[in-house]
Structures are given as C-alpha cells and as structure tokens.
A and B are shown apart, each in its own frame.
Chain A
Amino acid sequence: MQYTQIVQAVWGGLLFGAVYGLMALGLTLVWGAVRLLNLAHGAIFVVAAYVAYATVANLHQPILVALPVGVAAAAAFAYLMHLFLVRPVLGKPGFDNATLMATIGISISVQAAALLIFNPEYKVIPPVLQGSNLLAGVQVTNQGLLVIGTSLALFALVYLFLTYTRQGMAIRAVSQQMEAASLMAIPVVRTYAVVIAISGALAGVAGILLSPFFFLNPSSGFNPMIQALIVTIFGGLGSIRGALVAGYVLGVFESFVEVYFGVAWALPGVFLLIILMLIVRPNGLFGTGDVRRL
C-alpha cells in the first residue's frame, strides 16, 4: 500500500514534471530573448487544446492530425500576439508594464472566448496512444510515457537548435546582447517573432498532450502556467537546463504533496518550496546573476 503510493507519486510527478518543463521551456526562452514575462502562456495552452478538440470533435479527424493543427494554431496565436502586443512597445520605456498588462488581458479574453465558443463543460481530447501497463500496482499509461518522451525529445531538439543552427545562434546572440546582435546584422525583431512562435508551439504541445489527463475547460491553462512560472524561477530565469531539472523536481514534489496532503495543498506547498528556494538561491538553480530587469 505504502509502496504503491510512492510509485504513484513518482509516476505522477514525472508526468507533471515533463509538462511543466515543456511549458517552462517556452516561458524561459521568451524571457531570455525578449525579456517578456508572458502571462498569456496559459492562454496559448488553451488555444491549442481547443483547436485540437475542435479538429477531433467537429471535423472528425484523428488526433494525429489534430496535434499538428493545434500546435500550428498555438504558434500562429503567439505570433499574432507578437505582432499586435509586443512589437508596438518594443524598446519603449513602458515595455514591462505594457506587456504584463497586455498578456493578462489576452489571457482573460481567451478564457472568455473559449467559454463563449465552447461551453464550460469539460471536454475530452482522445489520447494519442491507448492502453497502459501495470507497474507495481500503478497504471502507467502509454500516453504518459509519450508525454515524458516528447518532452525530453523537445528539450533535446530545442537545445540542438539553439546550439547548432544559424537561427538558434541568432536567438542566443539576441538574448545575450540585443544591441551588439543588431549591430552584427541579426534581424532582432524577426528573431523575437521566431522565439515567441516557438514558445507558443511548445505550450501547444503541452496543452494537447496533457488534456487527456485533466480534461479541458476554459480556465485549465491557468494552473500549468503558474506552475511553469514557478519552474522557470526555480530553475533560474532564462536557463533551459534549469527548466528541465526544476520541472521534474517540482513535479515530483507536488505529486508527493498531493498524495499525502490532498490536492488543495499542492500549489501552496510548491509556493512554500519556491519561497525557501529564493531565500537560499535567489537566482534559482542554474540562474545567472544578471537577471535584474523587470
């Protein structure tokens, strides 16, 4: 019994951790490059999930078609946000204020729109993989394994992209020194657009793959976003390695709190952990000391 509980907690934690890591990866990329705290990240999550749901339920397509459609929609949505909300205020003195307010505004608008178009009922997105295995009395679903695998693969992909491709190097250059990068003829604004679209796509993948577990309703993006924010800060703002490690650490921690204290205390417990973390290591696990803006 006790043993099963522990396995259950670890399995749930790895699952959460994979998704939080995926969300946090998007947040941290955007933060690192654009210095934009995207509070609409949860909204992108919801957009992707609902587009995938509509593709499956209304257009009767298999989930394998819906997945890329949803991810593309998320990337497009993120790009539109860049076009209308980020680009007009780039480099202006009120950038932090404006983007913070704008992303909050967008996130509640998306929530309201989802409520209007679909109803508040919980929606079910079919999992990509069916079936499950029994491991020490715990149901380990294939979809869960897929989520963890996808998350790790995407982390690797993003890492390789940033390290070895021209576009990736441009992104890193822009995050390190925006002005110097622009002097080296790197199109800064276009690089921003690419980063934001990638981040949206990552949130989209998270949204579509996670929804079979939690069901989908208009506000289901909020919790993953807050968790991703915590993961980002825990791992160190702007650090990809941090997002990966912190995602799993916090996921497993939350899962244990849920199993032993109840679901209501999961978020407070995580918050308590992050407060302790900020006292011990104010820059997060892998943070560099220079995150002093905003």
Chain B
Amino acid sequence: MSAETAASTLARPAIDQAAAPWRRVSIYTVGGAVLLGLLMPWLLVRLDIGDYLVTLLILFFIQAVVAQSWNLIMGYGGIYSFAQVALYAVGGWATGVLANTLGWNPFIAILFAPVLAGLAALLIGLPTLRLRGVYVVLLTLAFHELSRVFAINGPRFISGGGYGLTIVPTFQFGSVIGEQRTIYLYYLAMAIFAIATLVIWRVIHSPLGVAVTALRDSETYAVSRGINQFRIRLVLFVLSAFFTGLAGGYMTHYQGGISTSVFDFPRLIDLLAMIVIGGWGSFGGPIMGAGIVIGLDQYLVALGDFRTLAEGLILAGIAVFAPQGVWPLLRNAFERFLAPESSPARSDQPSPAGAAEPPDDRAQEDER
C-alpha cells in the first residue's frame, strides 16, 4: 500500500487521506472477504450441521442489511426513525402480493420491493423529516402502528385474514433442490449484503455522508455552511428504506411468507440491539452487532424471557457506559497490535482531523 501511495503522489497531487478514506481499504481485505464468502457454503455443507450454519449466515446477511441501513439514518443521520420494521414489511408485502396475487416470478417481483419501500419512505419522510427528534420518534412509530393495523385489518389479499401472507412462492432455481438450492439462496443473500454494504460505504464517505454527519454533530454550523438539511435527510432516508425493503422482499420469498408478527416490538429491539451493541454510528458496528446478536441468540433462545430481560439490560448498559459499542474496541485492538507498521496515514491523521472536529470522540471514529 505504501508503495502504491508513493507512486501516485509522484504522478499527481497527494490526496488528503481523510477526504478519501475509502482508498485505505486494501483490495486484499475486500477480495479475501468476498472469496471467503463465496467458498464458505461449499466448506460448510461438508459438516453435519452445515445446512443449519448456511441458513444462519443467510439470516445474518439479511439482518445485517437491515441493521446497516437503520444505522445509516439513526447513527449517522441522527434521525430517530422507528419506521424501519414497517419499511421492511412494506418491501416484504409488496413482493409477496405481486407474486401471490398477480402470479409474478419472485425474481421479478422482488425488484419492486425496494422501489415501493423507497416510495413509502418518501411519503413518510416528506412530513416527518422537517421535524426534530421526539416528533420523528412519534411519527415514525405512528407509521409503524398504522401499517400494523393495515396489515392485520386491511383487504384480504394483504392481511390474509390477520395472519399475513402465508403462501408466497419461494425462489426456485430451475429444478435445483436441497443443499444446492440453499447454496444458491446463500449467494443471493450475500449479493444483497455485498451491494448494500458497498453502497452504504460509499455513501458514508461521499459528500452526502459527510454532510449528514456534520448535521448530526453540529446542526447550526452545517446549515450555515449551506447544507440543505431536509433534502439530505430525505435522500438518506429513502436510500435506507431501499435496502430495507430489498431485505424484506428477500426474506418473504425465502420463508415463503410474511407474518404480521414482524411488527412485534421485540423484533425492533433486536435490530436496535445489533446497532447499539455493535457500535452506533460506525460503519462495521451494525454488521458485527448482527453477527453477535444472531450468534448469541442460538444459545440464548433456550432462556426464553430471560433472554429479553438480559437484552434490555445489555442495551441500556452499553448505551450508557460504552456508547460506542464493541466495534471501536475491536478497531483499536486491531490498530494497536495487527495494523501494518508502514501505514503512515494512521499516525498523522488525528492531528489535522482532530483539530477541526467537535470534541465528540465519535466524530473522529467515523472518519476512519
């Protein structure tokens, strides 16, 4: 990496590392992760419980997409939106109804899930996002509640008599069945996860992402620098809904249905726990949080209500005593012990970036 930077500095003016942090991710890391992801199912299916593990990974990918896009607006944008599950449901129901009622192929129908979720987000965003914190909490909860009531009491092709959609066609890859089909499903989920992660990564490090972080950290300053708060928030909200809807659509066709129980409060809490435990407002936090929550869940599910009790206490404890979550801890450990010595960007970064930033540790965390 250092040789590469040296060569590019000769050719053209040096790029400020803080302005283009995405350049610092080595191609080997990304390539390795993708390769590992591609090979994983083939290794896992050799195991006895391989099928179960692949299914778990699929769940992880989808939950991570939802958590990531929620973090995009909550953690980075500072918009306390609780419409996330409702938007997920919009995506799920959209593709479910298209496939069920109109008999569309799931692969075609799912393309409409993110679009409709985005449109729904636009509709909620227009009246909501001009308002502030508490009002956003309330109005998005209102949307959640309204969609729940509609999903239960609405027309029969939507509500399914109060149970949700129960017989939605699942993804079929020709005549492939069994293990092979699970692997294809896995690849599909992984593709969704990869695209969402890539786009969110780019958005966070684009002028749009910088603007929204600025709005969160110092609204007065950001607005006086000419950032249009409402428009930026709306764009981000719609983008977040897009991927949430896609995840919802995938899950509907994966499970062959979507039940009205998605609106249950504990589901919202699970997603929130992923973000808070992993690291609120950090890029890798929600991904890691999704892994932690889903992984622990396999052990904690036997505990029943003790699990919820513990989850709530952990949520509160982390929010108060370690508001940055687990991700920064891991990150610092990595930088201290494992990071290559020849990375000069790290050592000189805090001085220019730290001086200009507000005295909020998290702001600097985002830069990396």
Contacts and interface: CB of A to CB of B under 8 A. Distances in A.
Q: Which of B132, B314, B316, B318 has the most chain A CB within a 10 Å cutoff?
A: B316
B216 to A, nearest CB: 10
B300 interface: no
A226 B140 CA distance: 12
A208 to B, nearest CB: 23
Interface string A82-97: 0011001100011011
Nearest to A111: B308
A118 B100 CA distance: 42
Contact of B323 (A98, A116, A267): A98
B142 A109 contact: no
B309 A116 contact: yes
Contacts of B311: 105, 108-109
A115 B192 CA distance: 38
A89 B323 CA distance: 10
A84 B265 contact: no
Interface stretch (A9-17, A136-144, A274-282): A274-282
B326 to A, nearest CB: 14
A282 B360 CA distance: 30
Given A105-B314, A233-B135, A279 B127 contact: yes
Interface string B286-299: 00000000000000
A151 B317 CA distance: 34
Interface string B259-285: 000000110010010001000100000
B139 interface: yes
Contacts of B80: 100
Interface stretch (B146-154, B193-201, B224-232, B348-356): B146-154
Contacts of B312: 104-112
- By secondary structure, the A interface counts as helix
Nearest to B145: A267
Interface string A183-196: 00000000000000
Contact of B146 (A113, A219, A230, A268): A268
A279 B306 CA distance: 43
Contacts of B48: none
B306 A116 contact: yes
Contacts of B360: 93-94
B320 A108 contact: no
A84 B306 contact: no
Interface in A146-192: none
Contacts of A294: 132-134
A124 B189 CA distance: 48
A222 B265 contact: yes
